[in-house]
Each structure stands twice: as structure tokens, then as C-alpha cells.
Structure 1
Amino acid sequence: MTIEARIRELGNRHRNLDETIRREMTHPASDSLRVRELKQQKLRLKEQITSLEARTH
């Protein structure tokens, strides 16, 4: 897999997590621990994307 393809894959996962977080937060009984874990996953993905993008420049 090329770096660009990996960046796209991670970007898709990042967007999916963002949508999952939004849905979770709209529920009246949302689980704050789950939301925090999802946000941490999203941050790790963003860091991976940033690191890979730095390699391509």
C-alpha cells in the first residue's frame, strides 16, 4: 500500500469516527467514557495522518 493510499484509508477511518462521536453525543444517555475513547482514537489517527503526510513532502 502506498503512503497516499494509507493516508486516504486513515482519513476515512477518521471521518467515520467523527460521525460515530456525533451520533453518540446526540443520545441522551451517551456514554462519556466511550466518547472519550473514540476521541482518543480519532486523535491517534490524526497523528498518524500528519506523520505520513510529513513523509511525502
Structure 2
Amino acid sequence: MKITIDEDRCRGHGICCTLCPEVFDLNDDGFSEVLTPDVPAEHRAAVRVAIAQCPERAIAEA
């Protein structure tokens, strides 16, 4: 599973960072970034929840 964040859509809510801090973090500008674009199997369920919970629909599977 590979993921990306659409930087134009992200508004920095940080929900993804709360749900899966092993994969997501906030950058210096306060927007989410992907730490691990190729998501390890043990984090895939949490990443799928983060994708579903993103209010801006900024996270997508690549």
C-alpha cells in the first residue's frame, strides 16, 4: 500500500497524525506529511481509517 497527501487539499487538521503517527506527521507549516509512503502491513488498517476520516479527502492510495 502506497499513499500520498494532496498538499493543495490538506488543511492541517492532524487527524491522520493522531490515528497513525508512525506514518503521518505535521510539517513545519502545520500541514500533514507522509513519513512512510510505502505503508508497512502493521499500519495499513490505521491508514485506511485516516483516509476515511480526513475531512478534506487529502489522503489517497497511490
Q: Normalization by structure 1: what TM-score? A: 0.33
More strand by percentage: 2
Higher helix share: 1
Pair member with larger Rg: 1
Q: TM-score, normalised by structure 2?
A: 0.32
